[in-house]
Structure 1
Amino acid sequence: MDYSQYKAIDFVKDESFQEWCMYPEGKQAQFWTSWTRENPHQQAEIRKAKQLIAALGESHADVSDSKIDQLWDAIRAGTRETPVASLPKSRKSILVRWSRIAAMWIGVVTALSLGIYWISNQATTVTFATAYGEVKSIALPDGSRVVINGNSSLSYREKDFNADTRIVNLVGEAFFSVSHTPDHKRFVVQTGEDMDVEVLGTKFTMTSRPMKKQVVLEEGRVKVSDSIYLNPGELVAWDADASGWREEQVQDPGRYGSFKENKLIFRKTPLQEVARVLEDTYGYRITFVNPALAGKHFTGSCAADDIPLLLRSIEKAFGIAVEENDRHIAIGKTH
């Protein structure tokens, strides 16, 4: 990592630097002690970063750059002084000097307190995101758990979990295990695309992709888009051709969220849908050499991180060639 051009805010966001500030004698000590000695031009930025981390405490990881800038401005305002001429070393001048030092530190403490108070009262948004092929499991403030599939993100405002309705925003795909609260708080998953899901306590898999809008319920009861109620084992998906929602029963609702167990499971699934999963979740580009293959139904499973095995399974199932080159997969390629 090249830290030579880092600003204070960059250091504040760096996990190894954070650890060094919190544990000066820890495992990061040798690296940062040596690095600061070899890069004296960065001393001012490092000093500023340390002050910010001390002021922010444990909240530094979730604070935006703009809020850090505002806190630093508060620190600077509280510590700004007007130069004074040297005074004789009399008892009176010593008292005056100590009075000024005390006033300076009172200003520092006041500025830090005001800055931290301001930050803590903002509507902090927490965001979790995954790369292509990455799966991430997270715990929400209410104890609910969410497993986010590849190329997806989940965000929420901290203050919403202290309100009457818990609200999260999903882009992509995720499995939800929602905790019921003693005061029966609603839990709403928003997508910004006219597909919101309201629940109390339940387990379901939700997909919000450009070419796929779907909810599959495992346990409990949910309401989709203010009008459709699902029971366990039911699926609702947006049918673009009919411009409406399509509902159906599914035998194994858990397989739709199989990514949480590092599995890919397909049951009589059109290859077009398999291709969509590979594109949306893993970042591949899919081409059907023979367009008729897109409608063929495939049944099979593999580890979610073993795409080559999936491609070989498709080859054997249909007696065709499937080739992958530089993130492009050609299905039905002829030699």
Structure 2
Amino acid sequence: MSLNRRNIRIVFLLQLAIVSLVVVLVMLWLAGTTPHLKFATVTFVAITLAVGSIVAVTWMTYRATRRLMAPVDWLLREVARWDPQHPDTRALSPERIPAEIKGDIRKMADALHGLSERVDAFIARERDFTRDASHELRTPLTVIRMASDLISHDQGLSERSRRSLNRIHGANTAMESIMDALLLLARDQDVALETEDFAVSDVIDTEVERILPLLEGKQLQLDVAIEAQPELHAPPRVLGVILGNLLRNAVRYTDAGHIRVNLLADRIEVVDTGIGMDATTLARAFEPFYRIDAAATGAGLGLSVARRLGERCGWALQLASTPGQGTRATILFGTSIPGA
């Protein structure tokens, strides 16, 4: 493109120089061959020739510009037709590029086509891996859950063994939630989510019940405040995964004090009295694999997955925190579900 612009400038300057030379030569020729002509007449003829020459140069420059910029215009039109979600780059395949597209523009088209193919392949591999891994891991997780449920009915278990069993059960439940989240995120954006009408308070009750075993051994009090009874038309599993992640984070980073779940008409709040976060940590809280405490358990994916799931459903996930005082995590319900 820079080469085309340079060529345009060179052509224009050459044409302008030729016009100026022609005008000067004409004025000199008129002055030498027709001395009887008045100066005004010579000037008029010169101005007429200059204006005509400028018009001709402008037209020639315009045509030259059109020819030089035609390949760029073609490439821009093709790229403008792409759907940002699913760009169709077949028009840039080598066999479909017009023969007149040559030089730098053809190289750019080939580069865009190659890049798009690599990106498409990467996205497909990631989606297939996430889907397959989630399905494959679901079977052993189900076996662990059923075995732990059976063992829990053994009356001869010691208190220590029962606490360990509860931790196994809690970790298995958390992993199942992550598998659900990965399956949902692996779906294409154009695939509608499985939505239904449900009461938000039912999801809160379920997730609070799942989190209770994690409170054992901690001086923690978990309260639920129902100030409204909103109903959503959305995937209840998604809300459960997001809320479960927020509750597990609250328990993980709060050794003593209380955790409170507030249900309002347009949001769910999870408020804890844990270690809190400073501004730097808060800014990175949603980054994948980032953990506030490097020694803490977990992969650091909870908040990242929760935010992506919220975005998939049109819900905003917000965090507010003060070091040493605690954190408030908020799920703001959207008015619609994208793709539903």
TM over 0.5: no
Which has the larger share of strand? Answer: 1
Which has the larger share of helix? Answer: 2
Compare relative contact order (CA 8 Å, sep 6+) and give the higher one, 1 or 2.
2
TM-score by length of 1: 0.32
TM-score by length of 2: 0.31
Q: Which protein shows a greater Rg?
A: 2
